[in-house]
Amino acid sequence: MELGLDGVSVDGIVHDVTLSAASGQVVGIVGPNGSGKSTTLRCVYRALRPSGGAVLLDGQDLLAMPLKESARRLAALTQDSHVEFDFTVAEVVAMGRLPHKGAFDRDTDRDHDLVARSLRQVDAEHLAGRTFLTLSGGERQRVLIARALVQEPDVLVLDEPTNHLDIRHQLDVLALVRRVGPTVLTVLHDLNLAAAYCDRVHVLDGGRVVAGGAPADVLTPDLVLAVFGVRAHLVVHPTSGAPQLLFGHPEVSP
């Protein structure tokens, strides 16, 4: 399913953001702190109504859809994905099935299987019986990713999915979302992860898209200096061939 942002604006914060993710693509949004990345995503997962523009799913106006219908198609891992009560991990993940169920439907065998599979996919099977609030930051993050996957979405919106994750789990989670295959729009702070895992990357600065395209074309030392104020040297990953950046502080000689 194709996701399109067409001139999305949020008064004073996000200005005319246009980008698209073709079916099955992983598209990244990078940019400095406060550049409008989360605010843009909030418009996509419907936590915020944009003041202008449209969000389109296969050309259909997402914001005009009933909430339950859009929740069946689109799942989000957000910066404010809180779990307030002391639910078990399995219960938290099972909540991801709610958009597919009627008010009085009980969990089916398929629901249980999907919960178990999603937990296995994020290496959290062993946590199923634990209460969510006792988990570490990285364990919580993986469980919330499982909750998004169990929704079987066509589109996955991820706000810094690698937050709190150790390096192994960062690589696992990004490889997983590529493998599972929904259309993915993800905010990433790590430019090298964006370069390695995204089909396309868009750079936000001051609420505007200042560059977009294939990572190798976008994540150049000139752009990194202009947008982040950091010197970068481009190297090519010796086995994957992905462009990777080595950073240095601008006040320290390279």
Ligand X SMILES: Nc1ncnc2c1ncn2[C@@H]1O[C@H](COP(=O)(O)OP(=O)(O)OP(=O)(O)O)[C@@H](O)[C@H]1O
Residues that bind ligand X (CB under 6 A): 13, 31, 33-39
Least separation in angstroms between residue 165's CB and ligand X is: 16
Please choose, from the candidates 21, 8, 16, the residue with its C-alpha nearest in 3D space to the C-alpha of residue 184: 21
Least separation in angstroms between residue 131's CB and ligand X is: 28
Q: Both ends of the chain: CA-CA distance in Å? A: 44
- Rg, Å, the chain Cα set: 19
Residue 58 β-bridge partners? none
Pick between residue 78 and residue 220 the one whose CB is nearest to ligand X: 78
Pick between residue 9 and residue 39 the one whose CB is nearest to ligand X: 39
**Enclosing H/E stretch for 172:** helix 167-180
Least separation in angstroms between residue 41's CB and ligand X is: 8
Pick between residue 10 and residue 89 the one whose CB is nearest to ligand X: 10
Residue 210 β-bridge partners? none
Least separation in angstroms between residue 218's CB and ligand X is: 17
Pick between residue 40 and residue 183 the one whose CB is nearest to ligand X: 40
Q: Which pair of structure tokens corresponds to residue 231?
A: 């010197």
**Enclosing H/E stretch for 247:** strand 243-248
